[in-house]
Structure 1
Amino acid sequence: MKKSKRNEMKYADIDFNNKTILVTGGAGFIGSNLAFYFQENYPDAKVIIFDKFRNEETFSNGNLKSFGHFKNLIGFNGIVISGDITNKEDLERLEEYDIDYIFHEAAISDTTVLDQKIMIDTNVNAFKDLLDLAIKKDASMIYASSAATYGNSKIFKVGYEHPNNVYGFSKLMMDNLAKEYYDKLKVVGLRYFNVYGPREYFKNKTASMVLQFGLQLLKGESAKLFEGSDKIKRDFIYVEDVIQANIKACEAKKNGVYNVGTGIARSFQDIVYILKKELNIERVDVYIPNPYAKQYQYFTQADIEDTKKYLGYNPRFSLEEGIKAYIPEIIRIYEEVK
C-alpha cells in the first residue's frame, strides 16, 4: 500500500522515538494505520503488533472471528506477534518488552455477533489483563471504545449510554473497568463513531458502507441502501482523524472517555451521492429492507466538546473530504479484486 502523505504530520508534542509502542489488533483496520503512523513519523520508535490474525473460524452469523490480515502490514518494519488477547500464555510474550504506550484496538467489533460470552471474554475480561500489564510496565493505555455504547440514546455524550446490542454493552463495561485504573496510570478511552478509510477492506462485510457502496458502483451495480436511508444518519469519520485522536490522547489533560467523530450527522444517502459525484457515475439506487432493524442505530452524532477541550482534537475531514481522499484506494481495491 502506498505511503499516505496525510500521515506525514505529528499530532502531538510527544517524541515517540526510542519509545516502545504496543498495538493490539495491529493487523486490523485502525491498528495497522496506527502502526504506519509511528513508523513514518518516528523511525526510531519500536512498534510491536500483537494480533490474532485471521483463520477460517466464523461466528454463528457466518462472519470471520478475526479480521487481522498480513496484507495490511506489507511495508511494516516492526515486530509482529501472533497472539490471542484472551490467552494469558500469549500475553506473556509481551513481558520481555519495556512498553511505554499501549494502543488497544483488538476486539470483537462485529455488532451482529450474538455470542455474549465470547464478546465479554474478549472485549472486557482481556482488557483487564492488558490494564494490569500497563501498570506493570508503567505504560499509558489508549483504548478503543465505541459509539455503540449510546444505542438509541438521543444524547451522544458520556453519561447517556443505552446500548442495544452486546457489543455496545461490552464497550460500556470496558469504560467502567477503565475508571478503576484512573488513579494508577494514564488511561483514555476513545468512542469511535463510524470510521472509514484505507486498510478496512479485510473487514469484509463489516467494512464501512463508504467502501461497500464504492465497490458496488465501480462494479456497475446500483448502490444497495436500506429503506429510508435518507433519514438514517450517522457521524462518519475518516480514519486519519481517528489516528489524530489516538495520538493526542497520549497528552490528554485528564483520564476519561472521549467521543471521536466529526460532530455532524450525515445520511447513508449522502455517502452514495458523494461517491457518484467523485466517480462520475449516474445510476438509480436500490432500496432493501433492514434485517437488523431491532438492534440498529438510526442516528448518531458525536458531542466532541470534551474531546476538543481535553485532547486538543479537531476533525480535519468532512464527509466530502474524507471520501475524496479515500477514492484512489477504493479504485485500487476494485482493480485488484475485479
Structure 2
Amino acid sequence: MKYTDIDFNNKNILITGAAGFIGSNLCFYFQENYPEANIIALDCFRSGETFSNGNLKSFGHFKNLIGFKGQIISGDINDSALLEHLENSYNFDYIFHQAAISDTTALEQDIMIKTNVNAYEELLKIAIKHKANMIYASSAATYGDSDRFEIGYESPNNVYGFSKVMMDNITYKYLKQGVDISIVGLKYFNVYGPREFYKNKTASMVVQFGHQILKGDTPRLFEGSDKILRDFIYIEDVVQANIKACNPKKSGVYNVGTGKARSFEDIVNILQKELNIDNGKEYIPNPFVGSYQFFTQANIDSSKENLDYEPRFSMEEGIKAYIPQIKELFETEVKKG
C-alpha cells in the first residue's frame, strides 16, 4: 500500500540500520512499491561483539534483507571515512536514519552518545548538503518517568532515552537556523511485527509470548499485568509514519503510536485466541517495580495534524497479521535452536 503521492522511483534513498527491524521493513516497502527507486541500505551487521550486559552491539541480520535487490553497504556510522564516502559518492533525496544503539539496558554511555547523537549530526549535515529530507528514529524512551506522553514532557531515565532527547535537540537547533530541507523525528512507542525476531531478547513480547505458546509453555506474566499498559504499534503503521514524514506540513518531532494503551495480558489473550492454543497463564513477581514504566500512551494529535498520520492496525489486527511469521519463525528458527 502506498502512503503518499510522492513518486520515489529514480530517487536516491539512504536507509541506515537497514538490516534491523524497522530499516529492513522500509527497504522492502520501497522495493515493492517503487521498483525503480535507488535504495542504499547501510548497516553495521552483527559480529560477536557484545556490551557489558551481554547483549550484541549490533542486531543487524542478513536474513532481514533476503530478497532485497538494492545496494548494501556494511559500515559503522561512526566511521568518518564512510561518512565522507556517502557525502561524495551519492546525491541523496531522502535519508531514513534508523541506525542506533537501541538497547535500553546498555551501560556504555560513551559509545551510545557517539553513535546516537554525534553520528546523527554528521548525517544531518550530509542531508543538508544534498538537500535530502531527513527522517530519523527518536523514541518513546525519551519520556522515561514522565506521565505526559507529548512533545516537551521528556524525562529520560536511561542513557538511550537521553541520547534520543539530544538528537531531538540537534533537530530543533538546525530547524531554528532555517535549513531548506524537512527534518522529522519519530518517537516510536512499542513496535512489534515481522523482521524483529533477530533483536533477540529485545524483540517485542508479542513474538516472545507467541513462541512460548507454540512451544507448549505457559506464558509468564508479571503480577498485575492487566494493569501494565503500553502503546503497542504494528510495524506497518511505523512504515506509514516514515513515508508520510517525507512531506510533512511542518518539520519537527512527532509521536508514533496508536494513542491507545493495551496490557500485556491482552497480548497473551489475543495470541492464544489466534493460535487456537490455551496454555493458561503463570504470574510471577515483577522485579522491576520502581524502575519500570507501568503506562505509556502516545498523544498523536500533532502527528495526525502535521504528518497526516492515522494508525490503521488495532492490536487485534496487528497480531492477526503477524501470526503467519510468528509460526514460520518458530519452525525455521526456534525449533532448530
Give the TM-score band, short-chain normalised.
over 0.9
Distance 1:317 1:122 in 2: 32
Q: How does 1:171-182 map to 2 (within 5 A)?
A: 171-182=164-175
Q: How does 1:51-66 map to 2 (within 5 A)?
A: 51-66=43-58
Whether the 8 Å CA contact 1:152–1:298 is kept in 2: the answer is: no
Given residue 208 of structure 2, which amino acid in structure 1 is its aligned partner? Q
Q: Which segment drifts farther, 101-110 or 82-91?
A: 82-91
Paired residue for 2:238? 242
- Does 1:133 find its partner at 2:126? yes
Go from structure 1 to structure 2 and tell me whether the alpha carbon gap of 1:108 and 1:295 turns closer, same or farther (over 3 Å shift): farther
1:142 match: secondary structure: strand
Distance 1:293 1:116 in 2: 24
Given residue 131 of structure 1, which amino acid in structure 2 is its aligned partner? L
Give the deviation of 1:93 after TM superposition. 2.5
Unpaired runs of at least 5, structure 1: 1-8
Cα deviation code 1:101-134 (max 9, x no counterpart): 0000000111111111111111101111101111
- Does 1:110 find its partner at 2:103? yes
Give the deviation of 1:296 after TM superposition. 2.3
Aligned length: 330
Distance 1:143 1:132 in 2: 13
Distance 1:116 1:296 in 2: 20
- Does 1:213 find its partner at 2:209? yes
Go from structure 1 to structure 2 and tell me whether the alpha carbon gap of 1:128 and 1:110 turns closer, same or farther (over 3 Å shift): same
- Does 1:124 find its partner at 2:117? yes
Q: Which segment drifts farther, 268-277 or 89-98?
A: 89-98
Distance 2:52 2:284 in 1: 23
Q: How does 1:66-105 map to 2 (within 5 A)?
A: 66-95=58-87, 96-105=89-98
Go from structure 1 to structure 2 and tell me whether the alpha carbon gap of 1:292 and 1:94 turns closer, same or farther (over 3 Å shift): farther
- Does 1:40 find its partner at 2:23? no
Distance 2:290 2:136 in 1: 28
- Does 1:257 find its partner at 2:257? no
Whether the 8 Å CA contact 1:263–1:303 is kept in 2: the answer is: yes
Paired residue for 1:4? none
Give the deviation of 1:28 after TM superposition. 0.3
Whether the 8 Å CA contact 2:59–2:199 is kept in 1: the answer is: yes
Paired residue for 2:17? 25
Cα deviation code 1:170-218 (max 9, x no counterpart): 1111000111221212100000000000000100000000000000000
Distance 2:282 2:81 in 1: 49
Whether the 8 Å CA contact 1:234–1:266 is kept in 2: the answer is: yes
The two structures have a TM-score, normalised by structure 2, of 0.96
1:324 match: secondary structure: helix
Whether the 8 Å CA contact 1:227–1:290 is kept in 2: the answer is: yes
Q: CA RMSD in A?
A: 1.0
- Does 1:199 find its partner at 2:216? no
Given residue 310 of structure 1, which amino acid in structure 2 is its aligned partner? N
Aligned pair partner of 2:272 in 264, 270, 276? 276
Aligned pair partner of 2:222 in 207, 221, 226? 226
Go from structure 1 to structure 2 and tell me whether the alpha carbon gap of 1:292 and 1:60 turns closer, same or farther (over 3 Å shift): farther
Q: Which segment drifts farther, 200-209 or 113-122?
A: 113-122
Paired residue for 1:304? 300
Whether the 8 Å CA contact 2:182–2:247 is kept in 1: the answer is: no
Given residue 173 of structure 2, which amino acid in structure 1 is its aligned partner? E
Whether the 8 Å CA contact 1:264–1:301 is kept in 2: the answer is: yes
Distance 2:162 2:285 in 1: 26
Distance 1:227 1:117 in 2: 36
Distance 2:290 2:59 in 1: 25
Go from structure 1 to structure 2 and tell me whether the alpha carbon gap of 1:217 and 1:227 turns closer, same or farther (over 3 Å shift): same
What percent identity do the matched residue pairs reach? 69
2:13 match: secondary structure: strand
The two structures have a TM-score, normalised by structure 1, of 0.96
Distance 2:257 2:309 in 1: 10
Given residue 90 of structure 1, which amino acid in structure 2 is its aligned partner? L
Distance 1:173 1:231 in 2: 31
Whether the 8 Å CA contact 2:228–2:294 is kept in 1: the answer is: yes
Paired residue for 1:6? none
Give the deviation of 1:92 after TM superposition. 2.2
Distance 1:287 1:48 in 2: 46
Aligned pair partner of 1:288 in 265, 277, 284? 284
Give the deviation of 1:136 after TM superposition. 1.4
